[in-house]
Structure formats: structure tokens, C-alpha cells
Homo-oligomer: A and B are copies of this chain.
Amino acid sequence: MTIADVARKAGVSRATVSRVLNGQDTVDPVLAGRVRQVSRRLGYHPSAIAQGLARGASHTVGVVVPDLANPFFPEVVKALTVAAGKDGFSVVVADSDEDPEAELRLIQDVSRRVDGLVLCSPRAGIADLRRVVRKGLPTVCTNRMVDPPLTASVMIDSGRGMQAVIRHLTELGHRRIAYLAGPSSSSSNADRLGALERSLPGAVVIPTGSKSQEGYASAAAAAEAGATAVICFNDLVAFGALARLRALGVAVPGEMSVVGFDDIPAADFVHPALTTVRLPKAELGRRSWEVLRDQLGDHGAGASVRLEPTLVVRESTGKAIGATEDAVAVGERAGG
């Protein structure tokens, strides 16, 4: 079932069928009607592949993410597909499973079949990235500092988020704070770590990860370290920490404050409701598309946008134990 079949049945040339189906108004209405009817009756649908070849553009963009099972990414991808869809673009997604090697392979792979690419929080090293990102393929990179910039970028200022958290916590009198750190390959994690060490050199950093399981495993160490507040790499980790602290009999926020990052929907429904840094996920997806689309059009260099996170205070943070007006003393407590 090709355009030729329609042309033959309708008694016109393939060019005419093409014109009609692409909405050109330079065709005799009678013929146009006949073509439309025939093509409908035959159930004809043009091959996007062939169109892609002929037009030199596939109207498809790729997005590669580290882990689609992490609630952060589906929201970004969703907003991106919806936005791109409105402009007639499809989105192919690739999941690298947090593996930098796989990520590089996927980038190259996907690059061969798309008009543009968005790299979501890529985990690969900068040198590797520079190697595989095709010069000439419109690309936007999210949540990943690359200096000098090799692509357009859309960032969320994680450092600012961390600062807001620290301010919040210190205002509550917390002096001993632990950070359950995310994957070392995560650039956002590095940003947060940087901000943390700058504002609070004495913070205890506990390598953790990005899943609840890992938060569960690490939370005890935070308690043992005498922290009165624990900042988690993301909400999932915070959920795990919350569960572990409960198991340990440590009251939240009474004895320990907990804060997350992301603000996934469930954060508002756990108990205690999680204080967290809201990252504008949907906006990240939308803006990524816009920035990419701009490059697709005028072939320009591509913008660099920076989005702001906002601290959402709920129930999991509270006054430090033993905190006084001008608290200096650290509320030491035995772990678990």
C-alpha cells in the first residue's frame, strides 16, 4: 500500500496525491476530493520513514534518561513528549539503566535516527560525552554542567535548592546535619554536595544512592553520627530513611528532621509529609523541547536556561532537639 496505489486508483500522479495529502491548495478540488476518498477507502497512510528520507528530517527526537523507574524522569519525559507532540514530533526514549557505558552506546544509536537529542542528566564523563555528541545534531543537555558548554542546556539550580534547605534547617537550630548522597555519576548530586560543603563544611556525607532501599540502609549511619537532620538525595531515598528511622524508634521530626529533593507526588502523602525541594520537572521537559525546537529551526547555537527549585516545607522538619534561641550546642543523641 504505497502512494502509487492511491495514485493509480485515483487516476492521478503520485505527485498530486502527495500534494493533496500534504494540504497544498494548488490542486483542483475535484481531484483533491477523489484522492482523499480513495486514500481513505484504501486505508492508506504515508510511511514516515520514506517521508523522512525525502524531506531530510524524521520529525523524531530522542531522549536518553538514566532510569525511567525513578519518578523524576517520567515526568520530564511526559512533558517533553506532550510538548513535542504538539509540534508534530515523536519522541524515542532510551533508558541507560544508570550505566555510563550503555548511555554512550545509546546516544550514538539514537543519534542515527533522530533530528535532535535531549540528554537527561547524563551520567557519562564529559570527555566521553564530548566524543559521542554529534557535532551538527541539535542537542540539549539537562542537569549537567559541561564547561565549556558543548550543547544547549536546561539546568535546575540544585545548589540553590541545597542552600535553601540548609537555611531552613539552621533556622530550626540544626547544627549537625547529614547528607545521604546520590550516585557519584550524578551531576546534580555533585552540585548539591558542593553547595553543602561550601555552606556547611562540617556536614557528614554518607554515600547512598537513589533508591528507597539505599536510603533505608544509610539512615542508621546518619543517626549514629549524631545528626539531628538528614538531607536526602531524593524523595525516594527520604522515604527509605523515614522508614528506617521509624524502625529505629527515632521520631520525625521530633528527634530528627528529614528532607528530600524532587517533590514527587507521593511526598505529600507519606507520614510525616515530606519537606522537600521541588524541582520543576514538567517545566524542565517543556523547556528542553522548546530549546531543542529552536535549534531545529534556525540551526542556532541553542540557549542555556536555568530553572529554580523551591523549598516545600511540610511536616518532616522541625526544631532541633535542645535548640535554644541562639543555639550553639549540638543536640547529641545516641544512635538507634
On chain B, the residues within 8 Å of A67 by CB distance are 78
On chain B, the residues within 8 Å of A187 by CB distance are none
Contact yes or no, A74 B68, CB < 8 A: yes
Contact yes or no, B49 A58, CB < 8 A: yes
Contact yes or no, B82 A78, CB < 8 A: no
Contact yes or no, A91 B90, CB < 8 A: no
On chain B, the residues within 8 Å of A68 by CB distance are 74-75, 77-78, 81
Interface range for A: 35 or more
Contact yes or no, A265 B212, CB < 8 A: yes
On chain B, the residues within 8 Å of A233 by CB distance are none
A67-103 to B contact mask, C-beta < 8 Å, 1/0: 1110101110110011001000011111101000000
Copies of the polypeptide in the assembly: 2
Contact yes or no, B93 A81, CB < 8 A: yes
Contact yes or no, B90 A90, CB < 8 A: no
Cα distance, A201 to B71, chains bound together (Å): 37
Closest to A137 in B: B45
On chain B, the residues within 8 Å of A97 by CB distance are 82
On chain B, the residues within 8 Å of A75 by CB distance are 68-69
Binds B, one of A6-14, A26-34, A149-157, A266-274: A266-274
Contact yes or no, B109 A90, CB < 8 A: yes
Contact yes or no, B53 A269, CB < 8 A: no
Interface residues of A in 51-77 (CB under 8 A from B): 52-53, 58, 60, 67-69, 71, 73-75, 77
Contact yes or no, B268 A108, CB < 8 A: no
A216-260 to B contact mask, C-beta < 8 Å, 1/0: 100000000000000000001001101100100000000000000
A278 at interface, CB cutoff 8 A = no
A32-57 to B contact mask, C-beta < 8 Å, 1/0: 00000000000101111110110000
With A60-B113, A212-B269, A266-B212 in contact, do A95 and B69 touch (Cβ < 8 Å)? no
Contact yes or no, A85 B94, CB < 8 A: yes
Cα distance, A240 to B68, chains bound together (Å): 23
- How far does the Cβ of A44 sit from chain B's closest Cβ, in whole Å? 11
Interface residues of A in 109-133 (CB under 8 A from B): 109-113
Most chain B beta carbons < 10 A, residue from A78, A91, A246: A78
A272-285 to B contact mask, C-beta < 8 Å, 1/0: 01000000000000
Other-chain contact of A243, B82, B92, B271 (Cβ < 8 Å):
B271
Cα distance, A112 to B44, chains bound together (Å): 10
A320 at interface, CB cutoff 8 A = no
Contact yes or no, A269 B239, CB < 8 A: yes
Contact yes or no, B246 A265, CB < 8 A: no
A175 at interface, CB cutoff 8 A = no
Q: 24 interchain pairs (CB within 8 A)? A: A45-B134, A48-B112, A49-B52, A49-B53, A52-B113, A60-B92, A60-B113, A69-B75, A74-B74, A77-B93, A77-B95, A78-B95, A81-B93, A81-B94, A82-B95, A90-B110, A92-B93, A211-B265, A212-B269, A239-B266, A242-B271, A269-B270, A270-B270, A270-B271
